[in-house]
Structure 1
Amino acid sequence: MTPAELIRYLVLAAQREGNRQLGHALRALGLTPAQSEVLRILGEHEPLTLSGIGELLVCESGSNPSRLVDRLVSAGLVERVASAGDRRQVTLTLSPEGRQAESRVREIETALYARIDAALEGVDTEPALELLRRLSTGQPAGEALAKRLAATEAAR
């Protein structure tokens, strides 16, 4: 296997394992990893439009996460609110139940990150982070992550 091929498969294996662990923990909440990402985005940046959520999503390609949001609205976790200035413009916010679910998702993610931190103990992560940045920069998921990081920094 070439180094590029090995990196590709190691990234894929790590992503799948992380998603498997996250999915297992989220099952108790009746959420998928993609749905939990929408809740986390709203928890950090609400109110947002559907396209605003799509710009920040790393888990899904495309800028219109309507099916994800529709399921969360049906579950009572997300509310659609008509804009005061333009009734055609709809913003999305967390419902009270959605806030509780988002809080639980944060707890689940914190536990996952603790397991990752334990695996990284004693490892210089900067070269790996630089490699992953180079591989994702200019790509749709990388751009979504960059926007999300910028929005998080701006909110601080």
Structure 2
Amino acid sequence: MTTSLPTDPQQALRLDNQLCFALYSTSLAMNKLYRKLLRKLGLTYSQYLVMMVLWERDGLTVSEVGERLFLDSATLTPLLKRMETAGLLTRARAASDERQVIITLTPEGDQLRQQAAELPQSILNASQCSLDQIVGMKQQLDALRDSLMKSA
């Protein structure tokens, strides 16, 4: 089965026909749900993403965290400063290269991992999708992101 964009310019420009709007509005809905769930942890969605990266591997540089999250250091640094002030992580210059800043979880930041462990199941439940559906959508979105990044 082949599909194509509508040839009628009026249909091609309809908001409901746009992949970008479907992704955008879904992202808004997902962020709204996460905002509600993360309130218990005292985290914003951006902070939660940083925490997940550090829970996978602690002691990363700012640039390594940024690469994982597709964020530049100008965006990431203020976020990390707020998280340090909140006692979730520490930032320290690397002994081997003072240009690099190493991000390390505090015990308080590491402890949040246990509380956050219930979030994936909450998201799955809210989605009303099967695990197989979620895995398939994630794979498709990863492939779409990779293709778009190559074209950007």
**Considering the TM-score relative to the shorter chain, is it more than 0.5?**
yes
Count of matched residue pairs: 136
Conserved? CA contact 2:124–2:130, under 8 Å: no
User: How far apart, in 2, do the equivalents of 1:94 and 1:129 lie?
Assistant: 28
Of structures 1 and 2, the one with the larger relative CO (CA 8 A, separation 6+) is 1
Match of 1:29 in 2: 41
The CA distance in 2 between the partners of 1:86 and 1:7, in whole Å, is 44
For the pair shown, the structure with the greater C-alpha radius of gyration is 2
Instruction: String of CA shifts for 1:43-62, please: whole Å, max 9, x gaps.
Output: 1021111111110115xx43
Distance 1:96 1:129, change over 3 A: closer
Runs of 4+ deviating beyond 4 Å: 1-4, 122-131
Is 1:92 aligned with 2:86? no
Aligned-pair identity in percent equals 28
1:22·1:109 contact (CA, 8 Å) conserved in 2? no
Code of the residue aligned with 2:113 in structure 1: it is E
Q: Which amino acid aligns with 2:62?
A: L
Distance 1:126 1:76, change over 3 A: closer
Structure 1's unaligned 5+ residue stretches are 141-156
Q: Is 1:14 the counterpart of 2:26 in the alignment?
A: yes
How many angstroms does 1:111 deviate by?
Answer: 1.7
Paired residue type of 1:120:
C
So what's the TM-score if we normalise by structure 2? 0.72
- For structure 2, the residue ranges without an aligned partner over 5 or more in a row are 1-10
